Structure 1
Amino acid sequence: MNVCAVLLLLGVSLTENIKVRASSVELFRDHFAGEQLNREKWNAADRRSAVNEELEYYSPANLQVANGSLALVAKQERRGGANYTSGRVDTKGLFDFTYGNVEIRAKLPKGKGLWASLWLEHYQCAAAVPCTQWPPAISILDFRGDQTHTIPATLYYKDAADHVQSSGKVLNAADDLSDDFHVYRLQWSPNKLAWSVDGQPAFFVIDDPQKIPAQRLQLVMNVAVGGMFPGSPDDTTEFPAAMLVDYVKVTREDSSSAGHTIRNSFIFAWICVFILTKVV
């Protein structure tokens, strides 16, 4: 009986929780195996860009899958009234999600006038044309090929007056990001957006429902040529130039396992019940 009393007192006094670790559910993955783009996962744009004053025609021919990577290749060649061609893929109508963790391992292209982007936009937006549902949009990175040590990470949203606003940060990297592959990650939850590069935290938006989107978003990857952000290529820009993507994956914490707690007091109470039962 004394042992039981002690256990009950411990159970009442201790408030520490035993937390069950949440597991992750995989929502989307592509490691680009084989020799062709998986058209069950990706759409390949086939049109001249009509946004941001860009100079490229997006062609499926500029998407190459080989050696376990997807190459989105920018070339200096005429097509469809444009002086350049390039590659763009998205998951419109194939995959979209609300909240999750996006991880992309990529090697970025170098050269003035090149604009590589990994981003999320509204699930109804079509490729490379103005979209009335934009924003919201989350840029995991917008990379200028002539600024290879910096990565602008940007969030686009509408304020209370329905005006388009942006919030972001320019991340400075010690390495030239066009020299090798790096892992770019975005964590998106109802209360938080968090960007990281190679596991190092870079930028956060926390507890701001005006900024953090709650809509369904699709994945987009592209290499633009020219436009308002990077400017036009010049004589120093070498073509062809490519962004290589090793893998893309999207995960989400399993809500069925997250947040379960077990009070120590209940554990001790059940031990006492067991002891009393044996004594009686």
Structure 2
Amino acid sequence: MSNFRIFICMLLLLGYGEYSFGQQGVDSGKKGWKLIWQDEFNGKKLDESKWNVLTRETSKHEELQYYVPDEVYLQEGSLRIRSRVRDYGNKKFTSGRLDTKDKLAITYGRFEIRGKLPVGKGLWPAYWLYPQNRDWMMEYIMKQAVEAGRERSIPELRPWYTEIDIMEFLGHEPNIVYATFHYTSFKGEGRSSSSTYRGTVNYGDDFHIYVLEWEPDEIRWYLDGELIHTAKEGVPHTDHFLIINTAIGGTWPGNPDSTTVFPQFHDVDYVRVYQRE
């Protein structure tokens, strides 16, 4: 082979190598988005300047877990949430929940999470956004005003409750991912916009990329680069923080049964947050 051909082959190999690295690097160059926050989970312990790890008994939705900090840790370059059978307080299961409240809370942005999900009846992992400054009293006053026919007395901003579920997953449906937005109408009516995505793979077998793009006029959900849902009504305009958790049991997933294997692990390779340039 001539020196010229060798030179061309080397250029092609180098170009391919740079492309591969760019695809797997920290910032993959999302057009129009600027990386503002990230956690690659490459250290020896969780970065507490970025995350809060909860200790909480959770009875909402009749869930069965007690959230405890020792079920949240780093292992082999990933965040791991362990869920297991364990007597703790008045609960028979423990699991993990962490959030960015008071540490990262933004209005509008792109949230990208690469995760591998736990499977089995009763497992309920989720990535979701929750209002940083939820005004419970204002919500109560507004609700009373609507019921009394005094709707015009409510502030135009109307800071009703919202919740944006980037990803929800029921462990007994391993090929299904839910994308949901809970919001309140201008008149105070609770509403939701949701999509049920039926994939061709088991989302507990490997890592997949879950993305939410929140703009002033719409919210978009992506799974492995595919658009799976869009919501345009009720889009919030206030700061929200990120929550990552695995619940066990409850009214929606049902409770673990004899087929459920414990412990189960919910692994997160990275979390990256962007805003418009």
> With structure 2 as the length reference, what TM-score do the two structures score?
0.78
* Residue identity in the other structure for 1:29: Q
- Residue aligned with 1:25, SS: strand
* Residue identity in the other structure for 1:222: N
Question: Hey, what does 1:26 align to over in structure 2?
Answer: 35
Query: Aligned in 2, Cα 1:22/1:109: closer, same or farther, shift over 3 Å?
Result: closer
1:50-129 mapped onto 2 (5 Å cutoff)? 50-124=59-133
Deviations 1:80-100 (A, max 9, x none): 211100000001111100000
Alignment gaps of 5+ in structure 2: 1-29, 141-158
* Residue identity in the other structure for 1:67: E
Question: Hey, what does 1:128 align to over in structure 2?
Answer: none
- Residue aligned with 1:52, SS: helix
- Residue aligned with 1:65, SS: strand
For the residues of structure 2 that align with 1:31 and 1:169, how far apart are their CA atoms?
29
Larger % of helix: which?
2
1:126-205 mapped onto 2 (5 Å cutoff)? 135-205=161-231
Alignment check: 8 A CA contact 1:122 1:134 kept: no
- Residue aligned with 1:35, SS: coil
For the residues of structure 1 that align with 2:243 and 2:108, how far apart are their CA atoms?
16
- Residue aligned with 2:119, SS: coil
Alignment check: 8 A CA contact 2:72 2:82 kept: yes
Q: Post-superposition shift, 1:22? A: 6.5
For the residues of structure 2 that align with 1:54 and 1:134, how far apart are their CA atoms?
25
1:228 matched to 2:251: yes
Alignment check: 8 A CA contact 1:140 1:185 kept: yes
Query: Aligned in 2, Cα 1:180/1:227: closer, same or farther, shift over 3 Å?
Result: same
Q: Post-superposition shift, 1:165? A: 1.3
Q: Post-superposition shift, 1:191? A: 1.1
1:238 matched to 2:261: yes
For the residues of structure 2 that align with 1:110 and 1:22, how far apart are their CA atoms?
34
Question: Hey, what does 1:264 align to over in structure 2?
Answer: none
Alignment gaps of 5+ in structure 1: 1-20, 126-130, 255-280
For the residues of structure 1 that align with 2:223 and 2:93, how far apart are their CA atoms?
30
| Match among 37, 48, 52 for residue 43 of structure 1 | 52
Q: Indicate the structure (1 or 2) with the bigger Cα radius of gyration.
A: 1
> With structure 1 as the length reference, what TM-score do the two structures score?
0.77
* Residue identity in the other structure for 1:227: G
For the residues of structure 2 that align with 1:106 and 1:74, how far apart are their CA atoms?
16
For the residues of structure 1 that align with 2:257 and 2:170, how far apart are their CA atoms?
14
- Residue aligned with 1:218, SS: strand
For the residues of structure 1 that align with 2:116 and 2:31, how far apart are their CA atoms?
31
For the residues of structure 2 that align with 1:154 and 1:24, how far apart are their CA atoms?
23
For the residues of structure 2 that align with 1:134 and 1:230, how far apart are their CA atoms?
27
Off by >3 Å, runs of 4+ in structure 1: 131-134
Alignment check: 8 A CA contact 1:121 1:134 kept: no
- Residue aligned with 2:60, SS: coil
Q: Post-superposition shift, 1:194? A: 0.7
For the residues of structure 1 that align with 2:83 and 2:264, how far apart are their CA atoms?
5
